[in-house]
Amino acid sequence: MSDIAIHLDAVRQRIAQAAAAASRDPASVKLLAVSKTFPASDVRAAFDAGQRAFGENYVQEAVAKITELGALRGEIEWHFIGPLQSNKTKVVAEHFDWVHSVDRLKIAERLSDQRPEGAAALNVCLQVNVSGEASKSGVEPDEAAVLAHKIAALPSLRLRGLMAIPEPAATQGEQRVPHARLRALLDTLRADGLDLDTLSIGMSADLEAAVLEGATMVRIGTAIFGARDYSK
């Protein structure tokens, strides 16, 4: 087994244990392998170990990998999870299956308008600044409902749920607080008539807290691929 395959197995075990602690089916938590800064060969190694959903943060880097792995396009699900600028929406709309980082109506409208004709609806999540950090992207929680309804009405998009990148916390109890806040917001939006099924929260350091609070998708990079070298 490759190191990546061993790491994937360990992460899957963590998900299964956290799901058991929450009395949940492990299959209700989807693993998104965050492959940003890692080469296409690492994505291929994870694919060979059974991983099918991959998350990317940087448009140019991601499209190069998607192109290089073009023979697997029908089997790999590509998720864009980074901040999205208006001048990059067309490329993302053309190449990705999911976008987790929609936090403005303008971005959603551009993705809808630029989704290729005949393509399946682009799955999107509304990013919420659940910890109120000035440095983080995301709509404010009290503004999320209005924006969510507007996005849900756009053609060529399917609003699936909410995403957040909470402020790091030292203990599991502290980690659970913003996750619970996001889950409560999702419940409110569902009660308000939106058909949502996705809670995209949890990374390598807080996976367990996220699963305990209802995460349906966890975004794991370091625990699978190792520490990132941003100097490259």
Q: DSSP per residue over 78-131, as a string?
A: EEE-S---GGGHHHHHHH-SEEEEE-SHHHHHHHHHHSPTTSPPEEEEEEB-TT
CA nearest 160: which of 18, 8, 30, 26? 30
Query: Model-level pTM?
Result: 0.96
What span, in angstroms and rounded, lies between the C-alpha atoms of 80 and 100?
A: 6
The domain 3-225 is classified under which CATH number: 3.40.50.920, 3.40.50.300, 3.20.20.10, 2.30.40.10?
3.20.20.10
Per-residue tens of pLDDT for the chain, all 232 residues: 899 999 999 999 999 999 999 999 999 999 999 999 999 999 999 999 999 999 999 999 999 999 999 999 999 999 999 999 999 999 999 999 999 999 999 999 999 999 999 999 999 999 999 988 777 889 999 999 999 999 999 999 999 999 999 999 999 999 999 999 999 999 999 999 999 999 999 999 999 999 999 999 999 999 999 988 776 6
- Domains of the chain, by residue range, sit at 3-225
Q: How many CB atoms lie within 10 A of CB 150?
A: 13
